[in-house]
Amino acid sequence: MSELNVVMRFAGPNDQLRGIIRFAALLGAGAIVAGCSSGGSLPSITGSLPTWFARPSPAAQAQASGGPAAPASNVSLEDDCPSVAIRTGAGTFAVGAKQQDPTPNDLRYQLTFLEMARQCFVDAGTVRMRVGVQGRAVLGPAGSPSQVSAPIRYAVVQEGVQPKTIVTKFRRVPVALDSNSTVFTDIEEDLSFPMPPPADLQKYVVYVGFDEAGDRGRPQSKRKKAPKAQKPPPKRLERSVAPEFRR
């Protein structure tokens, strides 16, 4: 793979400047391996779960802690659990250090996805999903060891002629870049929505991707302005009347 198109964000006075840069042999073949999986072709794990995503069941946790058995209120929905896919164009996130005429040598770091996994349960008419991603952070020529933020968006979408977003969540995941390449993991523990009819559930897809805008578009609560102090009414000047004009 000799070229890779990625969305870049440039640091500097105008931090929101964005552009598309074509990288040629970025960081060598080793760094590009992870970036080649930026489309929707990553494995969506069903059945056996990867070790980074698996967790003991509530019953096993209760037994290990010596506490009372957990109520079996959750029903597995693995056979009909919505699939997970990488949002087109959102599988790679790169940050550069130069605003104008950037080159591959101006890359500070790049984030890509490696693996995905999900679990589904039904609880009192609500589908509760655990969705996890594992990714890789790679330092670029202009980067240095530091802690960066991976902006990840999870969205449950009902596909169709007019796709409908059912629920979406955004997370900024801290990633410690203490070496040339670091693997990071994020798990959204509660991506929940009402149980739809079976025919509709078959159309549900969980999209995952890097979202640069993230939570910037959230409306900020407006502070109430303190009432302005009212000016006292102007004093009325009384005119003195000479005694001879008084009645």
Q: State the DSSP H helix or E strand holding residue 155, giving kind and residue range, or none if neither.
A: strand 146-158
In a domain, 226, yes or no: no
Average pLDDT across the chain, whole number:
74
Maximum separation of any 2 CA atoms in the chain, in Å:
112
Strand partners of residue 111: 93, 137
pLDDT for 31-78, tens place per residue?
A: 333 333 334 444 444 446 678 777 765 545 555 666 665 555 678 887
The reported pLDDT for the residue numbered 42 is 45
In a domain, 204, yes or no: yes
Average pLDDT over residues 174-191: 92
The reported pLDDT for the residue numbered 6 is 39
Q: How far apart are CA 13 and CA 144, in angstroms?
A: 20
How many structural domains compose the chain? 1
pLDDT > 70 fraction of the chain, expressed in percent and rounded: 59
Please give the residue range of the domain that contains residue 144: 3-47+74-215
Q: How far apart are CA 78 and CA 57, in angstroms?
A: 14
The reported pLDDT for the residue numbered 196 is 95
In a domain, 236, yes or no: no
In a domain, 78, yes or no: yes
User: pTM (2 decimals)?
Assistant: 0.66
**Which of 98-107, 150-159, 168-177 bottoms out in mean pLDDT, i.e. has the lowest?**
98-107
pLDDT for 186-242, tens place per residue?
A: 999 999 999 999 999 999 999 999 998 876 655 555 555 656 666 666 666 555 555
In a domain, 100, yes or no: yes
In a domain, 132, yes or no: yes
In a domain, 224, yes or no: no
In a domain, 81, yes or no: yes
> Cβ contacts of residue 139 below 8 Å, gap of 6+?
108, 109, 145, 177, 179, 180, 181
The reported pLDDT for the residue numbered 240 is 53
